[in-house]
C-alpha cells in the first residue's frame, strides 16, 4: 500500500480531530464544478459526460475517505467507469467494504456534495455526514481506485487521487480493472488473513481463484465447442486475455473478438452486451468474422460486469434466426442447476431468485414454478440485498448483470456436510467449487461466463437445448427524451408510475387493449431519459404497444 507523496501535512491534519479544510479547499478550486451542471447519484454512482466529472471525482474521493473512516479504516473502493454507456461518458462508483455497493443512506450526501456551489457549502455537507455517522476523524482511511478504458479516465483518476491525498488517505492505485475485479479486490483485502479470506488480494489472485475452480468443475467432462466472446472493445478484453493464461484452450477454447482497447470511438460501438440485448441482434458486422449457425457466442459490456449469450438458430440469413440467452435465461440455468446439485448432495438449501420488472414474463413464470422469486427496483444494489435473504440467492437483471450469493449458513452447511453416497459427494464437491468460480461481490462477466460454461458442459447442452427452457414473450425497450425525468416517480418496484398524475391510468388503459401485455415506465438512473418497457403475447402487436405508451409519456412531458 502506498501513501501519495507530499501529503505529510494532510496526514498530520487527519490524525487530529479536524478535517483538513485548507487542503481540501485547494483541490476544490483546482477542480471547479461546471456552472449550472446538476449531478445525481443514480442506479450505480454518478454517471454523465466524462469531461464534466473532475469536480465530482474529487469530491467523491473525499467522501470515500470518510466512508472508510466510518468503517473503522476498512478499505473501500472507487471505480471510474460508465459501463455500457457511449465512450465520451464516464462515472464514479464507490464500493463498500464487503465489495458491495455503497450504503444507500450515503447517496443523498454524495449528490449534495457534488452539487455544492462553493467550498463552504461542501464543508457543511461533510460536517453533517461526520455528525450523522459519528465518524472518528482520527481513524485512518484506506481507498483503492481503478478505472476502465475510457479516454477521460486518466484525467478523472487524477482528481480522485487529489481528493484522497487531501484527506491523507492510504491508497492503492489499482489501474486498469474490470468493475468486478475492483469489487473482488476490496473484499479480498478486507478479509485477508481472516477465516473468511475471499482470495489473494491481487488481480492475479482473482484470475487464479476463478480459473482453479473452473478447471476442477470441468475436469473429466468432454469439452464443448469454442466460445466466441465480444469484449465490447473494453477492459473485458484485458481480463479475458489474462484469464486465458490460467485456463488452457484444451479446457475452454475461446475466440475473442472486439478487443481493440484504446481505439478511439470503439468502446461499446456496435457491440457489447447492451447493444446486443437492446437491439436483440448480433454485434455489428460480426458476420464478417465468420460466425456460423449454432456457434455459442457472448458479449461483455464496457466494464465487464454484464454478459449475454446468443446463437443463430436455423438459416442465419433470416432475421429471426438470432436467439438471445440473456440474464433471465442465465438465472433459469443457474437456479435449476444449483437446486439439483443441492438435492443430489442431500442438503436443504432455500434457493431463491431475484429479478426486476424488466425480467421477461415467461422467465418469471418459469422460475416461480420452481423457487421463490422476488422483484426489486432496477440496479444491482437492490437485487444484491434481496438475494441475501436466501441461502442461495440467484440474482440477474435481464441485461445480464448478476451473480449468485451463498449465505454464511449455506457455506457452513456445504463445508460440514457428510455425504453418504459417491453421487452425493460428487454433487457436494461441485457445489463447493461453484462457490469459488462465482464472484459473489457483484455481477461479473468473466465469472458468469465460466459458470454458464460449467453448467452447459455438465449437462452436455448446446445453446438450443438451454434456450428450450422457456420461450420469451416478445419484448421491447424504448427511450423517451423528456423535459424533466425527475417528474416521473414510481412505486411497486418501479412497475407503476405515481407521477405525472394520471399517466399510469392511461397506460393501464392502453395495455388492456393487447393480449397478455405488460408495459411500465421509469426514469433511467444512468441516462437522461425515461425508459418504456413493453411485452406482449403477440409479436405483431409489440411495436404498437411500445409506441403508444411512449407517446403517452411524451405527451405527459410536453403538457
Which residues are identified as catalytic?
83
In whole angstroms, give the CA distance from residue 157 to residue 134.
29
Residue among 141, 182, 380, 404 that touches ligand GN1 (CB under 6 A): 380
Is the Cβ of residue 281 or residue 343 nearer to ligand GN1 in the bound state? 281
329's contact among ligand GN1, Mg ion, none, with CB below 5 to 8 A by partner kind, is: none
- Residue with grid cell 481507498, as numbered in its chain: 143
- The C-alpha angle 93, 97, 99, rounded to 5 degrees, equals 65
Q: How many helices (H) and strands (E) does the chain have?
A: 19, 19
What mask, x for binding ligand GN1 by CB under 6 A, covers residues 395 to 424? --x-x-x-----------------------
528 belongs to an annotated ligand binding site: no
525 belongs to an annotated ligand binding site: yes
Q: Does 336 bind Mg ion (CB under 5 A)?
A: no
Q: Are 95 and 183 in contact (CB under 8 A)?
A: yes
DSSP E strands, 283-434: 296-300, 307-312, 322-325, 351-356, 373-376, 392-396, 402-406
305 belongs to an annotated ligand binding site: yes
Q: Does 83 bind Mg ion (CB under 5 A)?
A: yes
Residue among 524, 544, 547, 554 that touches ligand GN1 (CB under 6 A): 524
526's contact among ligand GN1, Mg ion, none, with CB below 5 to 8 A by partner kind, is: ligand GN1
Query: Judging by beta carbons within 10 Å of its beta carbon (0-12, 13-18, 19+), is residue 65 exposed, middle or buried?
Result: buried
Residue among 301, 326, 444, 448 that touches Mg ion (CB under 5 A): 301
The distance of closest approach from Cβ of residue 533 to ligand GN1 in the complex, given in angstroms and rounded to an integer, is: 7
User: Which residue's CB comes closest to Mg ion?
Assistant: 83
Q: What share of the chain is helix, strand, coil (3-state, %, to 5)?
A: 45, 20, 40
In whole angstroms, give the CA distance from residue 77 to residue 62.
12
523 belongs to an annotated ligand binding site: yes
Is the Cβ of residue 44 or residue 171 nearer to ligand GN1 in the bound state? 44
Q: Does 490 bind ligand GN1 (CB under 6 A)?
A: no
In whole angstroms, give the CA distance from residue 168 to residue 146.
18
303's contact among ligand GN1, Mg ion, none, with CB below 5 to 8 A by partner kind, is: Mg ion
In whole angstroms, give the CA distance from residue 226 to residue 204.
24
In whole angstroms, give the CA distance from residue 502 to residue 85.
32
Q: Does 448 bind Mg ion (CB under 5 A)?
A: no
Residue among 89, 100, 305, 436 that touches Mg ion (CB under 5 A): 305
Cα dihedral: 293, 294, 295, 296 (round 10)? 140
519 belongs to an annotated ligand binding site: no
The distance of closest approach from Cβ of residue 174 to Mg ion in the complex, given in angstroms and rounded to an integer, is: 17
- Please give the helix or strand (H or E) that residue 48 lies within, else none: strand 46-49
What length is written for the chain?
A: 559
In whole angstroms, give the CA distance from residue 115 to residue 22.
20
457 belongs to an annotated ligand binding site: no
Segment interacting with ligand GN1, rule: CB under 6 A, options 26-34, 239-247, 490-498, 523-531: 523-531
Residue among 70, 153, 362, 378 that touches ligand GN1 (CB under 6 A): 378
Which stretches of the chain bind ligand GN1, using CB under 6 A? 43-44, 83, 358, 378-380, 397, 399, 401, 524-527, 531
Question: Which residues define the annotated binding site for Mg(2+)?
Answer: 83, 301, 303, 305
Question: Which residues define the annotated binding site for substrate?
Answer: 397-399, 522-526, 531
Amino acid at each position: 500500500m502506498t501513501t501519495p507523496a507530499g501529503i505529510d501535512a494532510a496526514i498530520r491534519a487527519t490524525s487530529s480531530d479536524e478535517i483538513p479544510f485548507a487542503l481540501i479547499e485547494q483541490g476544490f478550486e483546482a477542480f471547479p464544478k461546471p456552472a449550472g451542471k446538476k449531478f445525481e447519484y443514480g442506479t450505480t454512482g454518478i454517471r454523465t459526460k466524462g469531461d464534466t466529472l473532475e469536480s465530482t471525482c474529487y469530491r467523491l474521493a473525499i467522501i470515500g475517505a470518510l466512508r472508510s473512516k466510518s468503517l473503522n479504516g476498512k478499505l473501500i473502493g472507487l471505480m471510474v467507469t460508465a459501463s455500457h454507456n457511449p465512450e465520451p461518458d464516464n462515472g464514479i462508483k464507490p464500493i463498500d467494504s464487503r465489495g458491495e455497493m455503497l450504503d444507500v443512506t450515503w447517496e443523498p450526501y454524495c449528490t449534495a456534495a457534488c452539487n455544492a456551489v462553493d467550498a463552504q457549502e461542501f464543508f457543511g455537507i461533510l460536517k453533517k455526514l461526520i455528525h450523522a455517522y459519528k465518524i472518528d476523524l482520527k481513524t485512518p482511511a484506506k481507498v483503492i481506485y481503478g478505472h476502465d478504458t475510457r479516454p477521460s479516465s486518466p484525467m478523472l483518476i487524477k482528481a480522485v487521487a487529489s481528493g484522497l491525498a487531501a484527506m491523507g488517505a492510504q491508497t492503492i492505485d489499482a489501474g486498469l480493472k474490470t468493475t468486478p475485479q475492483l469489487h473482488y479486490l476490496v473484499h479480498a483485502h478486507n478479509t485477508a488473513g481472516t477465516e473468511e479470506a475471499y482470495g489473494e488480494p491481487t488481480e492475479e489472485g482473482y484470475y487464479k481463484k476463478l480459473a482453479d475452480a473452473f478447471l476442477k468443475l470441468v475436469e473429466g467432462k468432454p469439452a464443448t465447442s469454442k466460445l466466441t466472446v465480444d469484449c465490447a472493445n473494453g477492459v473485458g478484453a484485458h481480463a479475458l486475455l489474462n484469464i486465458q493464461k490460467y485456463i488452457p484452450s484444451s479446457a475452454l477454447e475461446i475466440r475473442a473478438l472486439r478487443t481493440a482497447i484504446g481505439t478511439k470511438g470503439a468502446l461499446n460501438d456496435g457491440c457489447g452486451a447492451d447493444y446486443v440485448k437492446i437491439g436483440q441482434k448480433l454485434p455489428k458486422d460480426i458476420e464478417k468474422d465468420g460466425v456460423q449457425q449454432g456457434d455459442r457466442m457472448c458479449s461483455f459490456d464496457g466494464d465487464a460486469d454484464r454478459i449475454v449469450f446468443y446463437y443463430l438458430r436455423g438459416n442465419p440469413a433470416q432475421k429471426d434466426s438470432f436467439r438471445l440467452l440473456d440474464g433471465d435465461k442465465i438465472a433459469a440455468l443457474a437456479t435449476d442447476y444449483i437446486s439439483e446439485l443441492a438435492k443430489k448432495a442431500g442438503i436443504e438449501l432455500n434457493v431463491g431468485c431475484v429479478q426486476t420488472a424488466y425480467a421477461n414474463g415467461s422467465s418469471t413464470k418459469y422460475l416461480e414454478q420452481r423457487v421463490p422469486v422476488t422483484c426489486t427496483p432496477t440496479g444491482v444494489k437492490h437485487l444484491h440485498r434481496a438475494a441475501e435473504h436466501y441461502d442461495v440467492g440467484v440474482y440477474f437483471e435481464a441485461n445480464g448483470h448478476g451473480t449468485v450469493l451463498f449465505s454464511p449458513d449455506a457455506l457452513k452447511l456445504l463445508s460440514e456436510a457428510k455425504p453418504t453416497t459417491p453421487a452425493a459427494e460428487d454433487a457436494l464437491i461441485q457445489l463447493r467449487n461453484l462457490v469459488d468460480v462465482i464472484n459473489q461481490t457483484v455481477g461479473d462477466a468473466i465469472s458468469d461466463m465460466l459458470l454458464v460454461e460449467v453448467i452447459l458442459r455438465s449437462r452436455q447442452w448446446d445453446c438450443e437445448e438451454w434456450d428450450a427452457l422457456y420461450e420469451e414473450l416478445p419484448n421491447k425497450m424504448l427511450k423517451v427524451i423528456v423535459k424533466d425525468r425527475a417528474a416521473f416517480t414510481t412505486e411497486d418496484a418501479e412497475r407503476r408510475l405515481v407521477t405525472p398524475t394520471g399517466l399510469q391510468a392511461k397506460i393501464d388503459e392502453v395495455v388492456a387493449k393487447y393480449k397478455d401485455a405488460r408495459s411500465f415506465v421509469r426514469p433511467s438512473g444512468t441516462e437522461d431519459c425515461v425508459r418504456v418497457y413493453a411485452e406482449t403475447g403477440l409479436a405483431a402487436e409489440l411495436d404498437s404497444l411500445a409506441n403508444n405508451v411512449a407517446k403517452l409519456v411524451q405527451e405527459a412531458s410536453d403538457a
